[in-house]
């Protein structure tokens, strides 16, 4: 079995237990990407990881393979936070950034990395909407100040609260 074939097989195998194996998967995907981008793309497709996540993982491996930190600590932090840290991490700042990742939520960490203050703990609300209701929801948010950015609305919470406050004023 060639090196490329082994990397391909390892990537597909590790992806079956993503949460437990993401550090190892990141390393294998990065090696495969460096060796043969066509096989990297094929492994990503076959494993079901998805190209966006695969590129995040290769970025994690590139950033954290240079940092002297136990893999168990990185696993405990999780791939989402590591993905956010990867563009910012260095040998000079890793101790502080890893501590922040361990003591903050992913959303709070994103704010910290943007240089914002993390004020109070916030509550997350998950909603499941039909396609028609989701479209209406987005229209309302746009009417109350939300802006599109790619596939998302980065200021959706503020727009939603503008709508809620407006409704409360109308009732009160």
Percent of the chain predicted with pLDDT > 90: 70
Q: Which tens digit of pLDDT belongs to each residue from 3-39?
A: 999 998 999 999 999 888 899 999 999 999 999 999 9
The three-point CA angle 45-50-54 to 5° equals 100
Helix (H, G, I), strand (E, B) or coil at 149: strand
Neighbours of 32 (CB within 10 A): 26
Of residues 147, 144, 149, the one with CA closest to residue 159: 144
Structure-block tokens of residue 158: 């503020």
d(CA 39, CA 33): 8
Give me 122's structure tokens: 């916030």
What is d(CA 150, CA 146) in angstroms, rounded to the nearest whole number?
Answer: 13
Query: pLDDT digit string (tens) for 76-113?
Result: 999 999 999 999 999 999 999 999 999 998 888 998 99
Predicted confidence at residue 19, as pLDDT, reads 87
pLDDT of residue 172 exceeding 80, the answer is no
Helices (H), 48-93: 51-64, 71-77, 79-85
| 157: Cα within 13 Å, side-chain hemisphere | 7
pLDDT digits (tens, 9 = 90+) for 138-154: 999 999 999 988 878 88
- At residue 107, the pLDDT reads 86
Average pLDDT, the chain: 91
């Amino acid at each position: 079995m060639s090196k490329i074939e082994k990397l391909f097989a390892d990537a597909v195998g590790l992806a079956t237990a993503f949460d437990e194996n993401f550090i190892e998967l990141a390393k294998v995907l990065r090696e495969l990407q460096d060796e043969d981008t066509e096989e990297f793309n094929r492994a990503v497709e076959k494993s079901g990881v998805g190209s966006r996540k695969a590129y995040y993982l290769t970025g994690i491996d590139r950033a954290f393979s240079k940092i002297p930190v136990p893999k168990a600590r990185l696993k405990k932090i999780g791939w989402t936070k590591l993905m956010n840290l990867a563009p910012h991490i260095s040998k000079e700042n890793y101790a502080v950034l890893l501590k922040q990742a361990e003591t903050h939520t992913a959303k709070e960490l994103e704010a910290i990395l943007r240089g914002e203050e993390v004020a109070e703990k916030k509550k997350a609300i998950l909603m499941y909407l039909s396609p028609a209701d989701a479209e209406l929801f987005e229209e309302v948010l746009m009417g109350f100040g939300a802006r599109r950015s790619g596939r998302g609305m980065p200021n959706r919470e503020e727009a939603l609260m503008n709508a809620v406050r407006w409704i409360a004023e109308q009732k009160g």
